[in-house]
A and B are shown apart, each in its own frame.
Chain A
């Protein structure tokens, strides 16, 4: 079981409170976690990764275990602590100010 923490706007969009818990088949990677997330919550498609390129949207980052995993390959294994559910996978919106 993988725990995912979403930014507030995406929790609202997905109608969830708190963490999202996902069953991920096979190895836990950014891609497999996001695939499982989007399968459970189709309204999140396109909001974290681009629909076509599957690139992470520029103002979002992926953190876990006090590390920035944003630039890790999408098929790289996530830390064991994430794979076992001991630590959450964090989807973080940039604190980029704005109007």
Chain B
């Protein structure tokens, strides 16, 4: 019978949650790296017991951990993320130039085929790769060298490259998202990059339709249909049907189209999940109700999923990397909150249960479906 392993990053450590395929009874392991911020933990699709974790703190900087046994034991690997070549400037919050400075790794995306190859998205925004299991990391400077980079400005969380999507059908095609620059795509495995933001409209920047400068919170794809992308932007939920070349809004009847995570059902490429948040100035749920919204039509028409979720006095947030799906049938959907709850739905969102309720604030959730 299949097993599920959920990898949870929190503000004070990592937790590994395991269950059988029923997804009813869970074992909780952790905290691993207690007291450290764990921005992301993710397993290799090519070797599910190979895990990578981004561990950081304001005091001690960045550490990368690797496990070869599914999270039972860990070893530190390389943590040197040095920008390649001239370190130019981007814009600071006040609009003045500021030199690029490494702060932390937001996202680790293991290769689809090689457990020793991992891509890293970092703050200040840049794209790195290791091909030796994390011992050494090299930047692909073409992204940071894009002509628009001098005009990139940070979002509230910093100038972070927070999303990396690998196209399983086009080797060399990778999508990244940067707050607050937008989506970029490479078709040559990271050497050159193009902005992919046509159709986005953002109030609060001088040109609302600018090619670059949008605060994209998260993008998602279905592996079987990688030309279709879904986006939760700062405001607006968007969709692209041409691999990012253009976008159109699909917010439809959502109660608010501000939010952070977005994900796609494992077996239904047009079933999409978001968690609407009241506003960018409040960062908590509308009406005190924790509601996941599901569209089964690829956008526009959304239904609130509430069974098993608190429907009063709930004011948590769900961060951009804190939602995931498994590949069982029915599809499992998972998310973690800033209040420390991790919820699971074993029926594609129809009903929910808390796996844990009192973890530190959850930053990221990834899920592995194990044979």
Contacts and interface: CB of A to CB of B under 8 A. Distances in A.
Nearest to B35: A9
B11 A9 contact: no
A9 to B, nearest CB: 6
Given A9-B36, A13-B63, A13-B76, A51 B58 contact: no
B283 to A, nearest CB: 15
Interface string A39-77: 000010111101110000101100000000000000000
Interface SS of A by simple majority: loop
Contact of B61 (A43, A57, A94): A57
B271 interface: no
Contacts of A99: 11, 361
Interface residues of B, number: 16
Nearest to B77: A43
A10 B60 contact: yes
A94 B59 contact: yes
Contacts of A7: 59
Contacts of A45: 79-80
A43 B63 contact: yes
B153 interface: no
B61 A47 contact: yes
Contacts, number: 46
Interface in A3-47: 7, 9-10, 13, 43, 45-47
Contact of A46 (B11, B35, B59, B80): B80
B60 A51 contact: no
B105 to A, nearest CB: 12
A99 B340 CA distance: 14
Nearest to B87: A52
A8 to B, nearest CB: 8
Nearest to A10: B60
Given A9-B36, A13-B76, A43-B76, A57 B82 contact: no
Contacts of B81: 51
A93 interface: yes
Given A9-B35, A9-B36, A99-B11, A59 B76 contact: no
Contacts of B60: 9-10, 13, 47-48, 57, 60, 93
Interface in B57-112: 57-63, 76, 79-82
A47 B60 CA distance: 4
B10 to A, nearest CB: 11
Contacts of B82: 51-52
A47 to B, nearest CB: 4
Contacts of A48: 60
A39 B79 CA distance: 15
Contacts of B36: 9
Interface string B268-294: 000000000000000000000000000
8 contacts: A9-B35, A10-B60, A45-B80, A46-B63, A51-B82, A52-B82, A59-B59, A96-B58
Given A46-B62, A48-B60, A60-B59, 16 more contacts: A7-B59, A9-B36, A9-B57, A9-B60, A13-B60, A13-B76, A46-B63, A47-B63, A51-B82, A52-B80, A52-B82, A59-B58, A93-B60, A94-B59, A98-B58, A99-B11
